Structure 1
Amino acid sequence: MSDIQTSTVSEEGFATTSQVGDFDLQIDALDETGPNPNATLVATYASCFLPAFRVGGQKTGNDGLGKIQIDADADLNDDDDLERIGFDVYVEADLSDEEFAEITDLAEDICHVHDALRSELHADVNVVGDAF
């Protein structure tokens, strides 16, 4: 048996509804009734990276990172395929650049989406401390 099972349906057009456990996820290739698949992937990546960043903080003895916000952006090539992803990570805690770099390295190792993406799409991460 698989570890993850989903079911995706489209009644017509390019909008889909995926059943993921007890949740419905609306994705629309045309951005009419939900976000498109590329936008969803970028959001999923950030949603995985943020808790991984928090765990990286815990592993380095920085449990009190406070509020964390990731503003993600991405570029598409001429075929509308993802070409680049970037994260601006805003952290309430005021740590050194070296501490943030260590936490970022750990987060990249912990984040399952980061691991699943081809290396050219690994996010360029910029961390800003004392951000709130």
Structure 2
Amino acid sequence: MSDIETITVSDEGFACVNQVGDFEFTVDATDEEGPNPNAALVATYASCFLPAFRVGGQQRDHDDLGKVQIDASADLDENDDLASIHFAIHVEADVDDETLDEIVERAEGICHVHTALREGLHADIDVYGDAF
């Protein structure tokens, strides 16, 4: 058994319903019934990075960063593939720039999505026809 198992279903069109454990959410390539896959990936990346940032803060003796907000933006290339991602991280606590840089560096090592977004990580794919 794998560590993570999900089920993604599309009965028609381009919207997909994803089941992850007890959670269900929709991703839609047309942005009609949910965010598109690129937007969902950027949001997932930020959702992973923010708690990693908090842990990095704790490891640098900043247990209370207060409110932390990531404003994420991304640019697409001519094929609508992600070309770049930018995080603007806003921290309520008064922390000097050098410490913030150290926290970011530590968060990069903790965030699983940051680690996964590397060249060469692609799904191994098997396809089964007449499956239903």
Structure 1 moving runs of 4+ over 6 Å: none
- Structure 1 partner of 2:12: 12
Q: How does 1:100-111 map to 2 (within 5 A)?
A: 100-111=100-111
C-alpha distance after superposition, 1:72-91 (max 9, x if no partner): 00000000000000000000
- Structure 2 partner of 1:56: 56
Cα offset, 1:17, TM superposition: 0.2
Gapped regions of structure 2 (runs ≥ 5): 120-132
Larger Rg: 2
Letter in 2 for 1:22: D
| RMSD, aligned CA | 0.8
What percentage of residue pairs aligned between the two structures are identical?
Answer: 66
Structure 2 distance, partners of 1:88, 1:106, is 16
Structure 2 distance, partners of 1:42, 1:73, is 8
Cα offset, 1:103, TM superposition: 0.2
- Structure 1 partner of 2:75: 75
Higher normalized contact order (CA 8 Å, seq sep 6+, divided by chain length): 1
Letter in 2 for 1:96: D
Secondary structure class of the residue paired with 1:50 = helix
Could you state the TM-score of these two structures normalised by the residue count of structure 1? 0.89
Structure 2 distance, partners of 1:76, 1:18, is 24
- Structure 2 partner of 1:31: 31
Could you state the TM-score of these two structures normalised by the residue count of structure 2? 0.89
C-alpha distance after superposition, 1:67-121 (max 9, x if no partner): 00000000000000000000000000111110000000000000000000027xx
Letter in 1 for 2:65: L
Structure 2 distance, partners of 1:6, 1:118, is 21
- Structure 1 partner of 2:3: 3
- Structure 2 partner of 1:85: 85
Gapped regions of structure 1 (runs ≥ 5): 120-132
Structure 2 distance, partners of 1:79, 1:25, is 26
Aligned length: 119
Structure 2 distance, partners of 1:62, 1:77, is 38
1:41 aligned onto 2:25: no
